[in-house]
Copies of this chain bind each other. A is one copy, B any other.
């Protein structure tokens, strides 16, 4: 029997470049041990977008039916449209022993955290979160209201971050990708993840 796969969740504040990093991870047909879980949405496909590749494009009625029948791992409504992750595909893939990679909004990520506390939660941060002070205070010419607004936003982001396991700075896309790859590899070596395997083997011998 295959060991259940690992759920990897990439999220972060809007505009941080989650989609770009995720696309870079799956580009060039690079062989991956993890599978991207395509989201479902009620918005219309844009030119070039393919159903089942970019999104599962569904009617609002169909989407609401999934919600009502507990078919969504997470979902949210943005600008009149629903977006979410269908549970069935995620579970099937995890059961087959493969890891699943989700790239979702922060609200969705928190829904997933509740349902799958064993997942790996990665928060993508803006490139300048490491120079937070400069970012907030600016070049010294900003008024106190501007600084205060930035401060509130920074504190909000950091509070979000606290709910995650890892913080990855998106300074360069290929660096962010490398860091995420490292995290996934290392997480597979965590004792809490390999213990079950060993215990099963011991159990198999004892019988």
B205 touches A136 (CB 8 A): yes
Q: Does A57 contact B (CB under 8 A)?
A: no
Contact A189 B167 (CB under 8 A): yes
Q: Which of B133, B167, B179, B186 contacts A194 (CB 8 A)?
A: B167
- Known contacts A201-B133, A202-B158, A205-B133, A186 near B182 by CB under 8 Å: yes
Partner of A182 from B155, B158, B182, B194 at Cβ < 8 Å: B182
Q: Contact: B205 with A162, CB < 8 Å?
A: no
Number of interface residues of A (CB under 8 A): 35
Q: Which residue of B lies closest to A190 (CB)?
A: B166
Interface presence of A154 (CB below 8 A): yes
Instruction: Please name all residues of chain B whose beta carbon is closer than 8 Å to the beta carbon of A182 when the two chains form the complex.
Output: 182, 185-186
In the assembled complex, A35 has its CB within 8 A of some CB on chain B: no
Q: Determine chain A's interface SS by DSSP, over half rule.
A: helix
Cβ proximity bits A179-206 to B, threshold 8 Å, 1 near / 0 not: 1001101110111001100110110111
CB distance from A126 to the nearest CB of B (A): 12
Count this chain's copies in the assembly: 2
CA distance A162 to B199 in the complex (A): 11
- The yes or no answer to A137 lying at the interface (CB within 8 A) is yes
A154, A162, A189, A204: residue with the most chain B Cβ atoms closer than 10 Å = A189
CB of A28 within 8 Å of the partner chain: no
Scan residues 112-138 of chain A and give those whose CB is less than 8 A from a CB of chain B.
Answer: 123, 129, 132-133, 136-137
Residues from chain B with Cβ under 8 Å of A190 in the complex:
165-167
B185 x A189 contact (CB < 8 A):
no
Nearest 4 A-B pairs (CB), nearest first? A186-B186, A132-B201, A166-B189, A183-B186
List, sorted by A's number, 7 A–B pairs whose CB atoms are closer than 8 Å: A132-B201, A133-B201, A151-B206, A164-B191, A165-B190, A165-B191, A167-B189
| Interface of A toward B, CB cutoff 8 Å | 123, 129, 132-133, 136-137, 151, 154-155, 158, 161-162, 164-168, 179, 182-183, 185-187, 189-191, 194-195, 198-199, 201-202, 204-206
